[in-house]
Amino acid sequence: MLDVNINSMSFRSSEGAALEVLRDLNFSCAQNSFTSIVGPSGCGKTTTLRCILGLETAFDGAIKTAGESDHLHKISAVFQEPRLLPWRTVEQNVRLALKAVDEAELNDLFAELGLTEHRDFYPTELSLGLARRAGIARAFAVKPSVLILDEPFVSLDDETASRLRKLLMQVWAARSCTALMVTHNLLEAIELSDRILFFSGSPSRVVSEYEIAVDRKNRNRRAIEQIREDIYATGAASPME
């Protein structure tokens, strides 16, 4: 369970002018659900994630997980740039995030993500797709209750992105945590999510939301396109976005 209530969040430019990026942004994500945020570029999607991760604190409002006020306790993230320490191997990067290491779980994670042979590689020796997988391994290894994903499939070729989405779904389904993902790609959001939140332009808030009833197993290409048509038909989002 993740509750986000941000009344207002502004950035101040170096000249002192304030720009309000979020206003009356309220939403919550059910326990172990997968929610996506879709919206125009620069609308504050990433800012919202940064607030949830505790990287931005200058906002008026509150963010809670499962009623706990210290929501940072069990949170984890997959960043857009994988943010692996280049001077540490894949395995060291993952272990550094862990307080207590569950060796069996770590082996499983590496195996599921196809990283077993890459454990001793440095991130600079990996393709972007593999580096993202290492980032996903790290995010799940800490056994989070809330997982934040900031465009985890951007700038990958279609085939790699599609394979990575399937891997993410497998790993997530086996572990279950509350996932919140930002994406530009509506089809991707439909493929993965239980629910999609549509953000307005800046200052942004949730303008509409769409629950996906179709079971994830049955979301093939045709089904996904049909859902997209339905989203447009209900007016939750327009094809321009």
Partner 1 sequence: MVRIAGVRLPAWLISVGGLLLMWAVFAWFAQSRSLPSPLQVASAIVTEVRSGELFFHMGATLARVAAAFIVAMAIGSAIGILLGRSRKLNHFFDPWVIFFLNIPALVIIVLSYIWFGLNEVAAIGAVALNKIPNVIVTIREGAKSLEPQFAEMAKVFRFSKWQVMRHVVLPQLQPFFAAATRSGISLIWKIVLVVELLGRSNGVGFQIHLYFQLFDVATILAYTLVFVVVMLAVEYLLLQPLENYSRRWRAGHA
Are 183 and 36 in contact by the 8 Å Cβ rule? The answer is yes
Contact predicate 34/12, CB 8 Å = no
- Does 229 engage in binding with partner 1 (CB under 8 A)? no
Sign, CA torsion 102/108/112/113: positive
171 closest CA partner among 196, 140, 149: 140
DSSP summary character for residue 68: B
Rule CB under 8 A: say whether 79 interacts with partner 1. Answer: yes
Is the CB of 71 or the CB of 219 nearer to partner 1?
A: 71
Q: Is 4 in the site for partner 1 (CB under 8 A)?
A: no
Asked whether the beta carbons of 126 and 89 are under 8 A apart, the reply is: no
Among 19, 30, 62, 97, binds partner 1 (CB under 8 A): 97
Rounded distance between C-alpha atoms, residue 205 and residue 201, angstroms: 8
In whole angstroms, the minimum distance from the beta carbon of 75 to partner 1 comes to: 7
Nearer Cβ to partner 1 (23/95): 95
Backbone angles phi, psi at 170, to 5 degrees: -60, -50
Instruction: Report the residue from 102, 125, 157, 229 that binds partner 1 according to the rule CB under 8 A.
Output: 125
What is the distance between the alpha carbons of residues 210 and 187, in angstroms, rounded to a whole number?
Answer: 13
* Residue 228 C-beta: closest distance to partner 1, Å: 32
Q: How far apart are CA 4 and CA 71, in angstroms?
A: 11
3-state secondary structure of 225: helix
111 interacts with partner 1 by CB under 8 A = no
Interface with partner 1 (CB under 8 A), residue from 124, 235, 239, 240? 124
Whether omega before 123 lies within 30 degrees of 0, making that bond cis, reads no
In this chain, which stretch among 59-67, 85-93, 190-198, 207-215 interacts with partner 1, using CB under 8 A? 85-93
Instruction: Tell me whether residue 58 or residue 233 sits nearer to partner 1 (CB atom).
Output: 58
With CB under 8 A as the contact rule, the residue among 19, 42, 54, 157 that binds partner 1 is 54
Query: By CB under 8 A, which span of 68-76, 161-169, 175-183, 231-239 interacts with partner 1?
Result: 68-76
In the complex, which residues of this chain contact partner 1 (CB under 8 A)?
53-55, 72, 75-77, 79, 81, 83, 85-88, 96-97, 99, 122, 124-125, 138, 142
